[in-house]
Structure 1
Amino acid sequence: MAHLLGAEALHLEVPTKTVFDSVTLGVAEGDRIGIVGRNGDGKSSLLMMLAGRREPDGGQVTVRSGTTIGVLDQADVFDAGETVGHAIVGERPEYEWAGDPRTRDVIAGLVGDLDWEAPLDALSGGQRRRVALARLLVGDYEILFLDEPTNHLDVEGIAWLADHLKRRWPRDQGALLVVTHDRWFLDEVCTATWEVHDRIVEPFEGGYAAYILQRVERDRQAAAIEQKRQNLARKELAWLRRGAPARTSKPKFRIDAANELIADVPEIRDRVSLQSMAVQRLGKEVVNLHDAGVSYGDRMILEDVEWLLAPGERTGILGVNGAGKSTLLGLISGDVEPTSGRVKRGKTVKVATLTQRLDELEEHLNEPVRVVIARLRTSFTVGSGSKAQELTPGQMLERMGFTSAQLSTPVKDLSGGQKRRLQLLLILLDQPNVLILDEPTNDLDTDMLAAMEDLLDSWPGTLIVVSHDRYFLERVTDQQYAILDRRLRHLPGGVDQYLELRAAQDRARSSAPTSSAGGASPPEPVRGQEAPALSGAERRAAEKELSAVERKMERLQADIAKSRDGLADLDQTDYQLLNVEMAKITAFEDEVAQLEERWLELGEQLDS
């Protein structure tokens, strides 16, 4: 593959430390590279040096002659008074940009719902982010540098961006370098991972899952180094191997040693013990929504919501911006009263909400971290049953990545990610039994996200999560719901089912193409018409097939559980036998996945 860009002996210093010391890297055609590492270790600085936006203190970056480079910064900067359309296509005549398939695809995928003539100053941060992405992606570049491209994007926007980047260049052409904390996005798009740490850049093959596998193997070989990080990575690896086997089937390296590490690792959560503890703390009744609805004047936000929250339930909530997610959370917490139906709460329910703001820290900004924590509980119980462990607040802070020196730092001087972690600890130390997390992953790097997930694994209560971070949502919750057309809908198929339903909604909306003179509106994709209703015979046949599919899925799930239980009785050193059994389990899971797709298709037919 042809060389596009090279960096030799890069050196970078800031007033308090050396960020990079003699870093040498290369980027070739076909590279799709994700850049990960702790906040403050230099990910964005590396990206900007390679893109030519920042001069290194030593070394040099060379780019192949004629190579075109596109850059997405973390900040979305536009000219004063600029409109959506002008920001994206500039002065290009409409016939030119409207006739370009890539431009039409980008506009439809990112800004199709925005007013083409709307001033950017009037847009939200998420809308401005989409315009900035569209402005970049309509261009023709050989290398794209993206710094946190998924910030402010919802699940659908992130899925569209991943699909676009996978299709943007032919195989072995173009190059992508992306800094992001979105682990699903890294797995979906990247074929290589660079970890920035300790003034170096360490390359790994594959996306995030492959990177975790290799990092565990690296840590195994140096077991005395960073023991706490190794244990955390082992736990995350166990989830990756068990929860998403397809992600780890592609790396071209030996993983036998890594498999040894997780041979005796239990499930990430002891659901039985956590459920028992949740019942003890909450009783059998938590929060029940009966035909609940909320309207503001003539505008209906939610209607006919029927939801009985169980003790220990872990649920993710999906929905487009403005669908009513925050209103639903308000019904649960008591901050919003229903305008129809009713909400009933158990007598022992104590709800806490981790909001997108940092309200809990406002009164403590001038106090050192240790003083803030000392006012709260002297201990905190993690785990359950025989694995329960009492931790001091200081140990809790250490578990969430705070160093001893940072305990004396005033809260106002903490980074955004540190404030976010402290906010969560303050809430947990108050011992709620219903926890609502509203976009909790903001400002956290991948290691700190894993630490938060690890902490939540041992939290015995009812958990409700709203997040655009698909990996986090699937990792910490056991089921997902979506707000669609003002109603709450269960998603047995998880996030994939939600994306399919949203796509079906778009197809069902018939809209005539509109394009007024002067380029006043972007081109609209042609939508399909609603499918005709089933006849009586067709409906009976679909219902019969649906029942058969459900029975077969249940049998296969039982076979999978039985096979997994049988792994414990096998000789753990007989890798050939273990591989055969794992292949059998994978085949079962693949068949279940195919049946789930058919189940979703039949369900949509019967719902129409």
Structure 2
Amino acid sequence: MILLQANNVMRRFGADVLFHDVSLQIQEHGRTALVGRNGAGKTTLLKMIAGITTPDEGTISKTKDLTIGYLAQDQGLDSQNSIWAELDLVFAPLHKMEKEIHQLEDQLAKLDPNSQEFQITTETYSRVQAAFKKRGGYEYQSRMRGILKGFGFEEADYQTSINSLSGGQKTKLALAKILLQEPGLLILDEPTNHLDMNVLAWLEDYLKSYDGALLVVSHDRYFLDRVVSDIYDLDNHTLRHYSGNYTQFMHHKREWLKAEWKHYDQQQKKIAKLEDFVNRNIVRASTTKRAQARRKQLEKMDKMERPEIDDRSIHFQFHSDKDSGNEVLDVDHVTIGYQQQKLAGPLSFNVRKSQRVGIFGSNGIGKSTLLKSILGRIPLISGTIKLGANLEIGYYDQEQQQLHPEKSVLNEVWDDHPNVPEKDIRSLLGSFLFVGDDVYKKVSDLSGGEKARLELTKLSFKPINFLILDEPTNHLDIDSREVLENAINEFTGTVLFISHDRYFINQVATDVLDMHADGIIHYEGNYDDYLQAQAKVPTSSEPTTKAKSVPSSAQQSYKQSKETQRARRKIQRQVDQLEKQMTDLENQQQEIQEQMSKPEIATDIGKLSDLQKQLDQLNAQSEEVELEWTSAAEKLEKFDQENS
């Protein structure tokens, strides 16, 4: 059954159209995701569906009595109440019924059991008690405790005032409250922000078994893979529906685009053929009728629009001027904290050249403090940290405190490299989507995503062989996250990073560190490898190596999917690199041919002979590279066919 339906919805901002002809259906018990780039209009569309705003054109209809719960991005509770008292407000109707039950019990105690009034009151009591039970009157407290525990709150926290909590804790409580309300349609905008991995895993399991329907916006691809079963893609100002989770959606979208281009090209060839016939035959008496018929055929043809997607994306790479030594970092029995107030320790681990080491752990455990201690920005309470030789360190700060709020985007980069021409700085900023007047924006006026891109811009400009990243995917949309993953995978240096983005960790990590208050545990491999080890190895604060374990069928299927994606990306990178080589060689050949055509060289046999030798060498290289490219492209096509 369809719970909610949007038909031909449009939203304008002045003369600009944000999206148009948007149609969407939410099915009963559906698990639906809305994906798209930052700025595509996802939150705007959610607010329309939630009934907070209305569309400029089109309609949104819903079934009678459908209750909708909407949680905005980073929307936290603002209340003077304690945690327990605030969540208990959800059950005010139950408390009213409970009070009525007690009143009826008092009445029954005073009435003669043989009286008619006693009989009537008993029937009322039974009816109210049955309704109370049906609505969960005897389970609501256990539900509250279960959800609070799922979000990481212990019983000792229940009487804590909400206004004394952090922003992240308030956001978790807002989500907890809306889950307790159990609306028929749950609309969540980026619900995974501020959640550590344990809470994320719990939330995913909770939402999968949720009785109502779910509509969610999220950049967390791991979450989308585990929870949703259909996806609406808001791209190029319109909406397209795909069945399946995120990984399946990406495959289907590639196939759709491939098919659309094929049909478009076929139609363009047919149009060109018809137009050519008309042009050649319209003036000839013997063929003019056939030409006129072809012209009418052209006029009646439903011409396809050129297939387009919004493929604007950042593009960059990290680079280094020199190699580091093999021993990049040694952390030995380190205790971290502020002003001798311990957060975590003792912590011991090593990082070696070319490793990509991911750190994860509960919120507030001190992960960011650890990175700042490694960089010497916060003093250690105890222990030693040894950095290796020849290190060029690049640091990404999730709080973006390295940016100057009063500077313009242009000056934020240019002031660090005053000898570089402005056009080169602007070209670099353009590769991070800062174009036109964007470069004159003040840093303080930028969104979180824009600040993240600006910090990555600065990192990509400087030579680095040891990259330290603190939650680099926060504020980035999915496309930007994928570009960052490619940049890290192609980086020849060493990477140490903090992330709660499990998909990101799976794509880039060679090793992971599970951080606790009393130690840190090393696992070889990525997040899925860590899960497999966890299935067999008991929890311990002592460092250990990855245990061999038999994964569950679900883990095995998921891991196989990820391995398939990694294998495809490896072949795709090879194809892309060979294409770049072919282009470079063609440019070199063209330059030599242009030199050979110059009058002063055309008459110089010696120079012509030297240039011809260079050209012959380039031609031979081109042939070799083209053969390699053909082989790689065929391999990629075969891979796609086998895994479609």
Structures share a fold, TM > 0.5?
Answer: yes
Distance in 2 between residues matched to 1:304 and 1:320, nearest whole Å: 16
The structure whose Rg is larger is: 2
Q: Is the alpha carbon distance of 1:229 and 1:76 closer, same or farther for their aligned partners in structure 2, counting shifts above 3 Å?
A: closer
Amino-acid identity (%): 30
Residue aligning to 1:32:
31
Q: Tell me, what secondary structure is at the counterpart of 1:465?
A: strand
Residue aligning to 2:68:
69
Say yes or no: does 1:82 pair with 2:81: yes
Residue aligning to 2:205:
163
Distance in 2 between residues matched to 1:228 and 1:13, nearest whole Å: 18
Q: Tell me, what secondary structure is at the counterpart of 2:20?
A: strand
Unaligned runs of 5+ in 1: 234-268, 381-390, 509-542, 550-556, 584-608
Distance in 1 between residues matched to 2:434 and 2:321, nearest whole Å: 32
Amino acid at match of 1:109: G
Q: Is the alpha carbon distance of 1:475 and 1:16 closer, same or farther for their aligned partners in structure 2, counting shifts above 3 Å?
A: farther
Q: Tell me, what secondary structure is at the counterpart of 1:418?
A: helix
Residue aligning to 2:247:
209
Distance in 1 between residues matched to 2:380 and 2:208, nearest whole Å: 44
Task: Compute the displacement of 1:443 (Å).
Answer: 1.7
Amino acid at match of 1:176: L
Range with bigger deviation, 406-415 or 116-125: 406-415
Distance in 2 between residues matched to 1:141 and 1:371, nearest whole Å: 46
Amino acid at match of 2:39: G
Task: Compute the displacement of 1:315 (Å).
Answer: 0.7
Q: Tell me, what secondary structure is at the counterpart of 2:29?
A: coil
Residue aligning to 2:404:
362
Q: Is the alpha carbon distance of 1:46 and 1:432 closer, same or farther for their aligned partners in structure 2, counting shifts above 3 Å?
A: same
Distance in 2 between residues matched to 1:461 and 1:432, nearest whole Å: 7
Q: Is the 8 A contact 1:289 1:305 kept in 2?
A: yes
* 1:429-440 alignment, distance < 5 Å: 429-440=461-472
Q: Is the 8 A contact 2:87 2:144 kept in 1?
A: no
* 1:115-126 alignment, distance < 5 Å: 115-126=157-168
Q: Is the alpha carbon distance of 1:39 and 1:227 closer, same or farther for their aligned partners in structure 2, counting shifts above 3 Å?
A: closer
Q: Is the 8 A contact 1:376 1:430 kept in 2?
A: no
* Count of equivalent residues: 478
Range with bigger deviation, 450-459 or 499-508: 499-508
* 1:149-228 alignment, distance < 5 Å: 149-169=191-211, 174-220=212-258, 221-222=260-261
Q: 2:148 aligns with which of 97, 107, 114?
A: 107
* 1:285-296 alignment, distance < 5 Å: 285-294=327-336
Q: Tell me, what secondary structure is at the counterpart of 1:343?
A: strand
Distance in 1 between residues matched to 2:226 and 2:522, nearest whole Å: 25
Deviations 1:348-374, CA, capped at 9 Å, x for gaps: 2233321122223216x3425377347
Residue aligning to 2:618:
none
Range with bigger deviation, 469-478 or 71-80: 71-80
Amino acid at match of 2:217: V
Q: Tell me, what secondary structure is at the counterpart of 1:8?
A: strand
Distance in 2 between residues matched to 1:84 and 1:416, nearest whole Å: 29
Q: Tell me, what secondary structure is at the counterpart of 1:222?
A: helix
Amino acid at match of 1:414: L
Distance in 1 between residues matched to 2:539 and 2:88, nearest whole Å: 26
Q: Is the 8 A contact 2:533 2:549 kept in 1?
A: no
Task: Compute the displacement of 1:453 (Å).
Answer: 2.1
Residue aligning to 2:455:
423
Distance in 1 between residues matched to 2:488 and 2:636, nearest whole Å: 33
Q: 1:479 aligns with which of 497, 502, 511?
A: 511
Task: Compute the displacement of 1:344 (Å).
Answer: 1.7
Q: 1:284 aligns with which of 326, 329, 333?
A: 326
Residue aligning to 2:607:
none
Distance in 2 between residues matched to 1:321 and 1:490, nearest whole Å: 19
Task: Compute the displacement of 1:570 (Å).
Answer: 13
Deviations 1:271-314, CA, capped at 9 Å, x for gaps: xxx9xx97942122322222333366775434343322212221
Amino acid at match of 2:352: A
Q: Is the 8 A contact 1:103 1:138 kept in 2?
A: yes
Distance in 2 between residues matched to 1:369 and 1:476, nearest whole Å: 30
Q: Is the 8 A contact 2:320 2:463 kept in 1?
A: no
Amino acid at match of 1:135: K
Q: Tell me, what secondary structure is at the counterpart of 2:219?
A: coil
Q: Is the alpha carbon distance of 1:469 and 1:394 closer, same or farther for their aligned partners in structure 2, counting shifts above 3 Å?
A: same
* 1:437-586 alignment, distance < 5 Å: 437-492=469-524, 494-496=526-528, 572=635, 579=642
TM-score by length of 1: 0.68
* 1:293-332 alignment, distance < 5 Å: 293-294=335-336, 300-332=342-374
Residue aligning to 1:587:
none
Say yes or no: does 1:148 pair with 2:187: no
* 1:252-263 alignment, distance < 5 Å: none
Q: Is the alpha carbon distance of 1:71 and 1:128 closer, same or farther for their aligned partners in structure 2, counting shifts above 3 Å?
A: same
Q: Is the alpha carbon distance of 1:65 and 1:81 closer, same or farther for their aligned partners in structure 2, counting shifts above 3 Å?
A: same
Residue aligning to 2:580:
none
Amino acid at match of 1:288: D
Residue aligning to 1:386:
none
Q: Tell me, what secondary structure is at the counterpart of 2:434?
A: coil
More helix by share: 2
Deviations 1:449-491, CA, capped at 9 Å, x for gaps: 2222233333332211111211122222221111134212112
Deviations 1:528-567, CA, capped at 9 Å, x for gaps: xxxxxxxxxxxxxxx9xx8999xxxxxxx9xx99xx89x9
Amino acid at match of 2:200: I
Distance in 1 between residues matched to 2:152 and 2:525, nearest whole Å: 27
Distance in 1 between residues matched to 2:458 and 2:69, nearest whole Å: 42
Q: Tell me, what secondary structure is at the counterpart of 1:41?
A: coil
Q: Is the 8 A contact 1:216 1:230 kept in 2?
A: no
Distance in 1 between residues matched to 2:345 and 2:261, nearest whole Å: 56
Residue aligning to 1:96:
137
Residue aligning to 2:608:
none
Q: Tell me, what secondary structure is at the counterpart of 2:352?
A: coil
Deviations 1:314-347, CA, capped at 9 Å, x for gaps: 1100111222312321232122333333222224
Q: Is the 8 A contact 2:69 2:187 kept in 1?
A: yes
Amino acid at match of 1:222: W
Distance in 2 between residues matched to 1:5 and 1:185, nearest whole Å: 23
Residue aligning to 2:287:
none
Range with bigger deviation, 148-157 or 426-435: 426-435
Q: Is the 8 A contact 1:87 1:131 kept in 2?
A: no
Q: Is the 8 A contact 2:77 2:170 kept in 1?
A: no
Distance in 1 between residues matched to 2:402 and 2:38, nearest whole Å: 22
CA-based RMSD of the aligned residues comes to 4.1
Deviations 1:557-593, CA, capped at 9 Å, x for gaps: 9xx99xx89x9899859969984xx79xxxxxxxxxx
Q: Tell me, what secondary structure is at the counterpart of 1:177?
A: strand
TM-score by length of 2: 0.65
Q: Tell me, what secondary structure is at the counterpart of 2:163?
A: helix
Deviations 1:501-532, CA, capped at 9 Å, x for gaps: 99999999xxxxxxxxxxxxxxxxxxxxxxxx
Unaligned runs of 5+ in 2: 99-135, 263-305, 551-559, 572-630
